[in-house]
Every structure is written in structure tokens, then in C-alpha cells.
Structure 1
Amino acid sequence: MDNIHQIFKESPTEGDVLATVIHVNGSAYRKEGTTMLIKQVGPTIGVLSGGCLEEDIKYRAEKLVKGQSQSFLYNLKSEDDLGWGQGSGCNGEIRVLLESIDSTFQTHLEKVNEQLLQGRSVLTIKKLSEDYEVMGYAFIVDGDNYWGKALNIGSNVELKEVTTGIHYSKELSGYCYFQWFHPKPRLFIYGAGADGVPLCDFAHKTGYHVTVADWREALCSKVRFPRADHLIIGFPHEVLPTVLLPQDHIVIMTHHFERDKEILQYVIDRPFKYIGIIGSNRRTMRLLEGQSVPPNVYTPVGLSIGAEGPEEIAISVMAQLIAVKQRGVPESGKQADCETTFYDR
């Protein structure tokens, strides 16, 4: 993921510099849309490379005038070049856009964060000069609601199919950098057992908004789940109708057959992005009582890597979640029955 949610958490302020990878030619450590915040006071948030560019980017950021933007091209191709690539041989070039934040840009970024927290995606458009500096920008929600500076977005601008990167816009008469900001993906873990603890931690570290629910108050606590964004105490019929959204990712891991069955019966016919079930295929077939397994149900949960124990299983689940998020389905498809993934109950 990019670092935009971490950046917003640190509250970009006037005088800070936002650095963004706006174009990649060949292979590189990060892709278009990756962001980094160089703060006037405090640590830098995020990275744009494997460590070879950050110091130079910080040096250039310090020289920017407030409200100014500049763009720099870094060649990381050569294996024997001891310049930007430090001999890394990444076989690519990346263009980095630096934007010094003034009071207007700060206000506009705060509004972007407000929209993301409300579950809305935001598209930013930055019109570029021949030197790839920003001539004007706009942030757009739902095609109609937009705000920005020195860029007039007409109703004829086609936005639905645009991807993050530099594209020519006929309507805006020039090349523009487009970037989508999406709300944090949401992970709902039902089951506050020992295996839920590392899954919550890893999901938090990889950018998910994590909710943990359980009917056992002694298990579902901030002491056990310090990185959970939300904790809910309650039985499935009390909790599920009130918190789940269609775009949610759900992992069922109560280790209680009847509770798992109740949860699965609620979610099975709803279009959630991902439904993972702890336990073997045989156990899931018993839970489903002969129903076919829908394509958004992953059982046993996690990629088949022979994982054992809570930490390894959490890693396998996160790998599968990332694959689903990035590609729609894991490259290897749903895994075969794996006896090391917990047990039948």
C-alpha cells in the first residue's frame, strides 16, 4: 500500500513537503502513487525507494519555497552505477514530484482525509507543466463534488476508467497526474482467540482498519488487541447487522462450531469481498450443510504454505488478503485442504 493514511494520521502542516512517485519506467522498488511526507519537525513518514533516494529527496525538499513544486527524475538502471541506484540495478527510472505544503494545500488535504474517514474514495488531478511541475490541482469525490486550486474541472472530463499515473487529458488540454486515494480496507475478525492477536497486528501494520468482535468479554479487550481500531462485545446476531459493509473482508475464527455456523449463515449470501474460515474444507462443508462454496469464501483461510501456529497462519492469511486486494484472487487460486491449518471441530 501507499502511505497516505499514515501521512494523514501525522497531520501534514504548512511547510512540510509531500513527495510522490508520479511515473515509473521499468522496474522500481515502489509504484506510481507511493507517497512520503518530509516534515519540518519530526520524522519522515514513508519511503519511496529501498533507501537510496530518501536523503537526496530530503535535501531537495529543504530548498523548496512554500507552495512550490518541483519534479526530479532518478535513474536506477545500472548495476555498477554508484549514484542514485547505489549499484542496485533496479532496471528502472522513477520521477518524483515534490510539493511544499502551504495553508491552502493543507486545508485541501484535510478535506481529503475527512472524505476517506467517511468511506469515500477521492481522485486527485494535477495538471503538469513541461517540467512536470504542478500548474493546478483538484480533488474529486463522486464526480461532482470537487475542490482545488487553479484547475477547472468541467462535466465532460472522463474519470471513471482513469488509473494512477500521468495521462493526457483532452478536456484539460495537457498532461495530468491522476491518483486515487481510497479508504482503508476494512478487516472484520470474529473470534478473539490466540490466533486473532497476530492477525490483528499484521493487518494493522499493512494498512487495514481492523475490528475484532467476540461474545467473550475477557478475550475481546484492548489489552489483548491494542492495535484494533474497534472492539465489539456481542453474539453474532447482535453484532453482524450493525457493523458490516459490502466492501468488508471477514475472517471467521471463533473455533466454536455453532457460532461459526451462525456467522457464516449471515454472510454467505452477501457480496463481501473476502470471507475466510478457519478450519479444514471438511469442517466448512459441515458448516455449509451441503451448500456450494461461493467464490468469495476462502477455506481453509490463508495461502497454503504449510503454516502452523498463530503467527504463521496470520502471515498466510495476510498474504491471501493482499493477493485478493491487488489481483482479485490469489495467483494460485483457492488452496487445497491443508491439515496443518488448525483442525476439524
Structure 2
Amino acid sequence: MLDVAEHLLRWIKAEQDFAVATVVAVSGSAPRQPGAALAVDAEGTAVGSVSGGCVEGAVYELCQEALDSGRSVVQRFGYSDEDAFAVGLTCGGVIDILTTPVRRDDPHRPLFASALAAVCADEAVALARVIDGPDSYIGRALLMRADGSVEGTLDGAAELDQVVAAEARALLDVGHTATITVGADGSYCGQPLRLLVECSAPPPRMIVFGAIDFAAALVRLGKFLGYHVTVCDARPVFATRRRFEEADEVIVEWPHRYLEAVDVDHRTVLCVLTHDAKFDVPLLERALRLPVAYVGAMGSRRTHEDRVKRLREAGTTDEELARLRAPIGLNLGARTPEETALSIVAELVASRRGGDGSPLTGTGSRIHHDTSAH
């Protein structure tokens, strides 16, 4: 649905009825990924695509049927061995498509309008819709914004809404659309609920300061976790594309000057690996005053003590210093660049999800934590 937000918002403002078909799952080779959408209004106008042409005609008809019936339905399309030109994916893949009518009398229409308006305003949002479960639940929706606020309800029960919102927040943090299953034990409505969580958000930023071997390992893990990764260093001999092929950007600039010029937000993580006072102090002085998710700095405890002294002299407050994770990373006993990078991203995940980094073995603590979005 969010894939064609501008068109759908115009239809809502014009008080038009429409149906939208959204890819909810893909297996094998398929031209479009979860979240891709095709929509048809009451006059037969179509926008978007779910398959690049393979099954568009059949999905178009599904949208028209949904408009007539007022019911959401999930349909599977796959390759036809008997006739490659029959309705199916000739590329050999299988896709599941959720078709949802959005008529003027639909109680979810205002919620959809909020989601579409947010996307058109470049806001980060996650829209969760039930695609499998009891018939009375199909099509119910929940909207979660980047600030953690939630609109709508799945069944009026705070517990279910909180669980889904937490799962949606995790996907929104990395800008990933996917299906989730909650209540596998039937704890909410007697059977599991499967939901499509559509996320509209750019990937969060990871900015790594210091073009060293540890940075190269951190770049690889940062990309693996879904970050848009930038490496910044003032030394052109070290900050090269050849050394950091997997980074999205390699910037040659004094770290504090780059930080002053770049846009950051509440999901941004800053990893300072320079452990050199002439770079660290002016950079951290600015970083600790920004509304970012995480600020960590590499260095020994002695280096950190000297760093804190210099930061205090530069006017950094105790409250600001309390935000600094240093020495950076969890205590894993790491020695190699790869092990150190693992300790850093482990701390990032723990910070984002509310974990404390302790072993789960032998404890009764919760595995998953509900935290506000970062």
C-alpha cells in the first residue's frame, strides 16, 4: 500500500473507492519484493505493479472483486508447468498477494489516510495489517510512527497491540517490509495471527569515524544489520574506496566538520574509532549534543580518562558525558577487528532493544524487550 502512497492519498481525498493488492511474501525468483503494490479505483484506473507484468491481469481482477465484496483476501501466484503463458510467474517464483478494499465506509480508511499522508510527507512509519487468522481479524490494521506513537488497534487489547508495535518498530528501525507471526500459542484470539508490516523509512545511518582495520570490519557488520554506512577520516591515504568497498560512502574530511554538515536523526549511530584526541575531542563535543541513538568511542580506559578530562575542559556536561559508550562495545574479550566489530554491533542491538548483554542461559529474564524507538 505504501508503495503507491501518492496515488492512493489522492483517491482518498477525492473520496474514491479503491482496492490495493500488496505483495506479502516471495519465494524463488520473483520480480517484485514484499511491499510492492498495484491499486485499482472504482473507475478501473490502475497504478503500480506487483509482478512486472506476469500476473497483473489476474491481480487487477482480484482488486475489482474485492471492491465488490468488501473483503480482503490473500491469493498465491506461482509458475505454471503446464502452460508458461497461463496466469503465473514464468520466472519460476511464487508470490502471495493481499488484496484489500478501501471503500468510503471502511472503518480503517482514516488510518490508511494517516499512513499515506505520513509517507508523502517523508515521515518514517510502519503499517501492520492482519493477513491470516480468524476471519474477523483479516484486514485490521495498526500504524506506528518513528516516535513510537501508535494509531489504531487490532482487537482493543493493549497487550496484542504492544507486541505487534514492538515487532513493527524493529522492522522500521531498518526500513524493512516483512511478514510477522504473533500469538503462535493462540494466546490472543485462539490461533496465530500473521501480519504484513509495511515500512516506509530510509535505512538508519551508521557513521564510522577513523579509517582503520577495525572500521573495515565494522562496515561489513553494519551493512549486514541494514545500516547505511559512511566512513569518515581526515587522512586521504587511509580513507579510500579501495579499503572500504562495502561502505555506502567514504568521506575525506575532519570528523567534526563532517558531522556539522551531515543530517542525523534519532536512529543514527556514531562510532568513533580514531582514538586520537585531536580528532576525538572536537567530534565528541558535538556528537554528544545531537539527538542520535548511540555514540561510542574506541580506546583504552586510560585513553578514555584523558578524553573525558579534555571534554570537560571543552564544556561537555555530565549529562552529555553519560551518553558516551566508551570503551566502545560489550565485554566479549574481543581482540581481532572482526571480534571487536561484533562487540560493537552487539552493544548497538542491546541499546536499541533494551537488552543488557548478559547470557540468557540460566536466567529467567525476557528474551525480547519493549523499548522506545531509536
Name the TM-score, length of structure 2 as normaliser: 0.50
Preserved contact between residue 279 and residue 299 of structure 1 (Cα < 8 Å): yes
CA distance in structure 2 between the aligned counterparts of 1:40 and 1:133, rounded to whole angstroms: 31
- CA deviation profile, 1:132-161 (whole Å, cap 9, x unmatched): 884466867689xxxxxxxxx79xx999x7
Count, aligned residues? 239
Structure 1 residues 116 and 295, CA, compared in 2 at 3 Å: closer, same or farther? farther
- The letter of the residue matching 2:24 is L
Q: Which residue of 1 aligns with 2:332?
A: 305
Residue 206 in structure 1 maps to residue 225 in structure 2 = yes
- The letter of the residue matching 2:253 is G
The alpha-carbon deviation at position 312 of structure 1 amounts to 1.3
Structure 1 residues 284 and 258, CA, compared in 2 at 3 Å: closer, same or farther? same
Say which of 192, 216, 220 aligns to 1:197: 216
Say which of 183, 199, 207 aligns to 1:181: 199
- The letter of the residue matching 2:326 is T
CA distance in structure 2 between the aligned counterparts of 1:315 and 1:118, rounded to whole angstroms: 32
Structure 1 residues 104 and 234, CA, compared in 2 at 3 Å: closer, same or farther? farther
Preserved contact between residue 229 and residue 248 of structure 2 (Cα < 8 Å): yes
Name the TM-score, length of structure 1 as normaliser: 0.54
The alpha-carbon deviation at position 232 of structure 1 amounts to 2.1
> Residue 69 of structure 1 aligns to a residue in which SS?
strand
The alpha-carbon deviation at position 162 of structure 1 amounts to 4.1
Preserved contact between residue 16 and residue 39 of structure 1 (Cα < 8 Å): no
Q: Which residue of 1 aligns with 2:124?
A: 120
> Residue 353 of structure 2 aligns to a residue in which SS?
helix
- The letter of the residue matching 2:292 is F
CA distance in structure 2 between the aligned counterparts of 1:215 and 1:238, rounded to whole angstroms: 10
The alpha-carbon deviation at position 182 of structure 1 amounts to 6.8
Preserved contact between residue 24 and residue 196 of structure 2 (Cα < 8 Å): no
> Residue 232 of structure 1 aligns to a residue in which SS?
strand
The alpha-carbon deviation at position 69 of structure 1 amounts to 1.1
Preserved contact between residue 126 and residue 177 of structure 1 (Cα < 8 Å): yes
The alpha-carbon deviation at position 44 of structure 1 amounts to 9.1
Q: Which residue of 1 aligns with 2:349?
A: 322
CA distance in structure 1 between the aligned counterparts of 2:348 and 2:272, rounded to whole angstroms: 14
- The letter of the residue matching 2:30 is V
Q: Which range moved further: 319-328 or 201-210?
A: 319-328
- The letter of the residue matching 1:269 is R
CA distance in structure 2 between the aligned counterparts of 1:142 and 1:311, rounded to whole angstroms: 31
Identify, as 1 or 2, the structure richer in helix. 2
Please show how residues 234-273 of structure 1 align to structure 2 within 5 Å: 234-243=253-262, 244-273=264-293
CA distance in structure 1 between the aligned counterparts of 2:131 and 2:212, rounded to whole angstroms: 50
CA distance in structure 2 between the aligned counterparts of 1:253 and 1:229, rounded to whole angstroms: 18
Please show how residues 1-345 of structure 1 align to structure 2 within 5 Å: 18-19=24-25, 37-38=26-27, 40-41=29-30, 66=59, 68-69=73-74, 99-100=96-97, 115=119, 118=122, 120-126=124-130, 130-131=134-135, 134-135=138-139, 162-164=162-164, 165=182, 177=195, 179=197, 181=199, 183=201, 184-243=203-262, 244-289=264-309, 291=312, 292=318, 294-327=321-354, 330-331=357-358
CA distance in structure 2 between the aligned counterparts of 1:102 and 1:329, rounded to whole angstroms: 41
Structure number, greater radius of gyration: 2
Q: Which residue of 1 aligns with 2:67?
A: none
- CA deviation profile, 1:7-36 (whole Å, cap 9, x unmatched): xxxxxxx999523xxxxxxxxxxxxxxxxx
- CA deviation profile, 1:281-326 (whole Å, cap 9, x unmatched): 2211211217447343211111111111211111111111111122
* Superposition CA RMSD, Å: 4.6
Preserved contact between residue 275 and residue 303 of structure 2 (Cα < 8 Å): no
The alpha-carbon deviation at position 276 of structure 1 amounts to 1.0
Structure 2 unaligned blocks of 5 or more: 1-19, 35-54, 63-72, 77-94, 103-111, 165-181, 313-317, 360-374
Q: Which residue of 2 aligns with 1:49?
A: none
CA distance in structure 2 between the aligned counterparts of 1:297 and 1:18, rounded to whole angstroms: 40
